[in-house]
Amino acid sequence: MLSSTEQDFIYHFGEMGSKWGINRTVGQIYALLFLSEDALNAEQIVERLSISRSNVSMSLKELQSWELVRIGHVAGDRRDYFTTPDDLWTIVRTLVEQRKKREIDPTLSKLRELQIQADRGAEPPDYATRRIGELRELIELLTGWYDDMNRLETERLVQLLALGSKLQGLIGKAESIIPFGRTAKSPTSSDTPKIKPMKEPR
Amino acid sequence: MLSSTEQDFIYHFGEMGSKWGINRTVGQIYALLFLSEDALNAEQIVERLSISRSNVSMSLKELQSWELVRIGHVAGDRRDYFTTPDDLWTIVRTLVEQRKKREIDPTLSKLRELQIQADRGAEPPDYATRRIGELRELIELLTGWYDDMNRLETERLVQLLALGSKLQGLIGKAESIIPFGRTAKSPTSSDTPKIKPMKEPR
DNA sequence: TATCAATTTCAGAAATTTCTGAAATAACTG
DNA sequence: CAGTTATTTCAGAAATTTCTGAAATTGATA
């Protein structure tokens, strides 16, 4: 049924799934759908991956909750059919958005909460509190950048990516032409870039 | 021993660890070291997190294999002392590099291998083979961009991030001034951006 | 070399996650 | 409505991962 290439790809994604905190079956089903031109119904997935019907049902639910798999229907057939989006950039955007939502956003909330809590206490802030603040700032910078990029059309995004660090050379030139609103101030300890020696244990 | 803020942060990182395919203890130890101004020895970690000595030993090994934790020594004390780098950008760079090495690079190798294998077979390439090729190209674009960014000094990198999509406006202007080597051609199906209707199941 | 402290290893216990089959539910069909 | 098909739920089985305590190892010191 599946070519050896397909098999190989599907197994690889299963393995990789684990490293990503996604379970093997979910990874395999995703990979199968990704490679499949036609939409597949649950029974077809059961056959091709030799897993139980209930496992397929639950794994598809999981993939749908990630918005990585779409459900569709066919005239004269009341089974559900599943696909992944054709456009890879749609997939990348979904993946990044979902991971951000599940992993970054809660962490950012937590850091803000902790900092408020800690700031109410003794001044000056202790080391741990300062560290939490640094981390929060870093994440805010990165997510702000992400929001910016996410707003771009794919066409533009690809252009920027392909340019890569060539852009860096433009900054100087551009700065003199266009007044940038946001200042490019490092939010971390990069203003003390010297390598510190081993910290003293108590 | 630990403030409630520290406790909270450490537990949060433990939880998050799971979602990242990193185990709870490893996440907690990392968080503890991250918040700790002084380097800590294994016994101190045992006390503060109430976990077994052997667990600490193994988890530290894991963190060292990720290069996220450094080992150091103190005069007149033969125990090992552990820290995280002070500079957050160093941490980010390490994290990204390690994840790339463990997750992206093997996948890229696999995709190349599969494509070669498939290309030896029947022409024209079938849908699955084309899909694998698309994915490979996308990952190559992204890792190429990453390599570019990674070469930048932190100072410059932060500037670029802070600019965000403002750069986008520069492309047009810049293109007319500087001849770009690499063409910004989308590697995906973004040249057929129309939304395709539901694929036909068999 | 014997002793001691620090660390690592590892077999199995404990905990957690994944997966299944059976039963329940839902949704259509005649 | 009764019968049929598709899907979901869920308790517990199976598999995997994590964690521990005991023993082994390492390496410094007397």
pLDDT tens profile B21-60: 899 999 999 999 999 999 999 999 999 999 999 999 999 9
User: Under a CB-based contact definition with an 8 Å cutoff, are residues B45 and B31 in contact?
Assistant: no
Range of A64-68, A167-171, B156-160 with top mean pLDDT: A64-68
pLDDT tens profile B121-146: 767 889 999 999 999 999 999 999 99
Amino acid letter for position B192: T
Scanning every residue of chain A, which has its alpha carbon at the shortest distance from the alpha carbon of B128? A35
Decide if pLDDT at B183 tops 50: no
Gap between the Cα atoms of B73 and B93, Å rounded:
25
Residues forming beta bridges with residue B70, ordered by sequence position? B83
Q: How far does the CA of B8 sit from the C1' of C17, in Å?
A: 25
pLDDT tens profile A96-115: 999 999 999 999 999 999 99
Q: What is the DSSP letter of A158?
A: H
In this structure, is the CB of residue B59 within 7 Å of any atom belonging to strand D? yes
Mean pLDDT of B92-108: 96
Gap between the Cα atoms of A156 and B151, Å rounded:
23
**Hey, what long-range contacts does B123-131 have (CB within 8 A, 24 or more apart)?**
B126/A3, B127/A35, B127/A36, B127/A37, B128/A3, B128/A5, B128/A6, B128/A9, B128/A35, B128/A36, B128/A37, B129/A5, B131/A34, B131/A35
User: Under a CB-based contact definition with an 8 Å cutoff, are residues B15 and B24 in contact?
Assistant: yes
Decide if pLDDT at A197 tops 50: no
At B27 the three-state DSSP class reads: helix
Rounded to the nearest angstrom, the minimum Cα separation between B78 and chain A is: 12
Interface of A with B in 112-171 (CB under 8 A): 114, 117-118, 126-129, 131-132, 134-135, 138, 141-142, 144-145, 147-149, 151-152, 154-156, 158-171
For the four alpha carbons of B105, A156, B173 and B161, in that order, the dihedral sign comes to negative
pLDDT tens profile A165-180: 677 666 655 555 544 4
pLDDT tens profile A7-45: 999 999 999 998 888 999 999 999 999 999 999 999 999
User: Under a CB-based contact definition with an 8 Å cutoff, are residues A171 and B159 in contact?
Assistant: yes
Q: Do B103 and A19 touch (CB under 8 A)?
A: yes
Average predicted confidence (pLDDT) for chain A: 86
User: Under a CB-based contact definition with an 8 Å cutoff, are residues A39 and A83 in contact?
Assistant: yes
Choose between A162 and A111: higher pLDDT.
Answer: A111
Mean pLDDT of A140-160: 95
**Hey, what long-range contacts does B140-145 have (CB within 8 A, 24 or more apart)?**
B140/B108, B140/B187, B141/A158, B141/A161, B141/A162, B141/B187, B142/A161, B143/B100, B143/B104, B143/B108, B144/A161, B144/A164, B145/A161, B145/A162, B145/A164
Decide if pLDDT at B198 tops 90: no
Residue A91: predicted pLDDT: 98
- One DSSP character per residue, B64-94 reads HHTT-SEEEEETTEEEEEEE--S-HHHHHHH
User: Under a CB-based contact definition with an 8 Å cutoff, are residues B29 and A192 in contact?
Assistant: no
Mean pLDDT of B192-196: 30
Q: How far does the CA of A22 sit from the C1' of D20, in Å?
A: 27
pTM for this one?
0.87
